[in-house]
């Protein structure tokens, strides 16, 4: 049980009013930014593209790619980047499966050394060629698997978001 004295309750009340003055414009501005340009079709497009780009097997450039895609397709940057960052743990988990699928789908290229990390550390400049092949095969596996799923997800989201719901009277 918490018992406040009169001075504590007035301090609490003052702090609460100050917080409301500060947070109210910030919250309203965030709501405006988050909902800018989000028709049901754009929301479905943003969700499907954001999820797909969030698991893109590149560790160096998904943020820049999301910014570029959002600008070109006129999507909400904030929502797209939020999805990108939310899917980052899944992106890390799926790096190896995408690479293994890429090796299985595209068996050509240089053979991988048994001690891959040791090779990358011992010979970093000569390993760039190997990293290029790893990235290429992972991206190819991503294109084969994620792009069709993204398109299907977009269609499902668009149909469910755009259908007229019966009104309850």
Chain segment 97-134, per-residue pLDDT in tens: 999 899 899 888 877 777 777 777 788 777 788 888 88
What is the pTM (predicted TM-score) of this model?
A: 0.70
Query: Is pLDDT above 90 for 43?
Result: no
Domain count, the chain: 2
**Structural domain that includes position 14:** 1-35
Same domain as 111, residue 63 = yes
Q: What is d(CA 153, CA 161) in angstroms, rounded to the nearest whole number?
A: 12
Whether residue 86 lies inside any domain: the answer is yes
86 and 142 belong to one structural domain: yes
| Judgement on whether residues 57 and 109 belong to the same structural domain of the protein | yes
Average pLDDT of the chain to the nearest whole number: 83
H or E element: which one contains 17?
A: helix 6-35
Domain shared by 152 and 73, yes or no: yes
Q: Residue 126 and residue 113: Cα distance in Å, rounded?
A: 13
Place 169 in a pLDDT band, splitting at 50, 70 and 90.
Answer: very low
Average pLDDT over residues 162-168: 57
């Amino acid at each position: 049980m918490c018992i406040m004295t009169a001075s504590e309750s007035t301090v609490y009340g003052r702090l609460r009013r100050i917080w409301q003055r500060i947070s109210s414009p910030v919250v309203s501005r965030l709501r405006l930014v988050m909902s800018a340009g989000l028709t049901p079709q754009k929301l479905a497009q943003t969700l499907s593209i954001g999820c797909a780009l969030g698991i893109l097997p590149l560790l160096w450039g998904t943020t820049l790619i999301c910014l570029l895609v959002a600008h070109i397709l006129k999507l909400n940057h904030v929502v797209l980047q939020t999805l990108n960052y939310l899917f980052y743990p899944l992106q890390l988990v799926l790096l190896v499966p995408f690479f293994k699928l890429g090796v299985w789908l595209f068996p050509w290229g240089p053979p991988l050394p048994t001690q891959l990390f040791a090779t990358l550390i011992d010979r970093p400049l000569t390993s760039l060629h190997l990293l290029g092949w790893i990235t290429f095969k992972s991206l190819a596996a991503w294109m084969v698997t994620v792009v069709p799923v993204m398109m299907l997800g977009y269609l499902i989201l668009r149909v469910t978001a755009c259908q007229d719901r019966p009104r309850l009277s």
